[in-house]
């Protein structure tokens, strides 16, 4: 096996030295990360005419993991580090039986560049380590919003982008009238990379 690998390396280095191009297999996909197949995460063609924090779409979600709560996901317009419009998503958990709760925007730790590891997915597949900690806020009667603060391309460490998504997620949550959070006081919290977005 080692001999075969060495032969391939020698062939590639020789080709590069001679200025030859190395063909890329047809099935290679240069786009990474791959777009989420769920159409909820797809940006509309007219995204650029919307203002930061404008709501694009909402949906109710099953909050089976978080007892006595109701959940929504909100897709909204935000901005990337280069100033271009992007579609971002936040997940909102509301404590049942609490009118006009305060809102905590919690920016979670994300240790992956794959969009399938964003909080809107990992909150419900047991991958997000802080998921049980969200009970603390819910039990105190707080609404909790957890944005996908790395954006649609999983831009880890892009704190400017994360900050804009965080603030726009709060705007979006307050603009969804059925959540009852329009005039709620807001606090930000975050851990690790989520701390950068919060800061």
3-class SS letters over the chain: CHHHHHHHHHHHHHHHHCCCCCCCCCCCCCCCCCCCCCHHHCCCCCHHHCCCCCEEEEEEECCCCCCCEEEEEEEEEEECCCCCEEEEEEEEEEECCCCCCCEEEEECCCCCCCHHHCHHHHCCCCCCCCHHHHHHHHHCCCEEEEECCCCCCCCCCCHHHHHHHHHHHHHHHHHCHHHCCCCCCEEEEECCHHHHHHC
Q: How confident is the model at residue 1 (pLDDT cuts 50, 70, 90)?
A: very low
pLDDT of residue 125: 80
Residue 18, pLDDT score? 56
Min mean pLDDT across 55-59, 131-135, 166-170 is at 131-135
pLDDT in tens, 134-147: 888 999 999 999 99
**Domains, the chain, ranges and CATH?**
37-198 (3.40.50.1820)
Q: In this predicted structure, what is the pLDDT of residue 65?
A: 84
Average pLDDT of the chain is 86
Confidence of residue 7 (pLDDT cuts 50, 70, 90): low
Q: What is the pTM of this model?
A: 0.82
pLDDT tens, 176-195?
999 999 999 999 999 888 88
Mean pLDDT of 63-73: 92
Q: Encode pLDDT of 115-166 as tens digits.
A: 888 999 888 887 887 788 888 899 999 999 999 999 998 888 888 999 999 9
| pLDDT recorded at residue 2 | 45
């Amino acid at each position: 096996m080692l001999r075969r690998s060495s032969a391939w390396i020698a062939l590639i280095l020789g080709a590069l030295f001679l200025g030859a191009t190395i063909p890329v297999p047809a099935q290679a996909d240069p786009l990474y990360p791959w777009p989420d197949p769920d159409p909820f995460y797809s940006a509309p063609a007219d995204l650029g005419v919307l203002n930061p924090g404008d709501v694009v779409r909402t949906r109710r979600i099953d909050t089976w993991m978080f007892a006595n709560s109701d959940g929504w996901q909100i897709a909204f317009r935000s901005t990337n580090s280069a100033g271009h419009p992007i579609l971002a998503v936040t997940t909102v958990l509301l404590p049942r039986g609490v009118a006009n709760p305060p809102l905590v925007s919690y920016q979670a730790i994300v240790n992956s560049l794959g969009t399938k590891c964003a909080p809107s997915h990992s909150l419900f597949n047991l991958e997000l380590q802080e998921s049980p900690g969200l009970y603390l806020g819910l039990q105190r009667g707080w609404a909790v919003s957890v944005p996908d603060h790395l954006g649609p391309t999983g831009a880890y460490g892009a704190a400017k982008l994360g900050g804009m998504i965080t603030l726009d997620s709060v705007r979006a949550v307050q603009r969804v009238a059925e959540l009852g959070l329009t005039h709620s006081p807001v606090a930000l919290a975050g851990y690790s990379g989520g701390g950068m977005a919060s800061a």
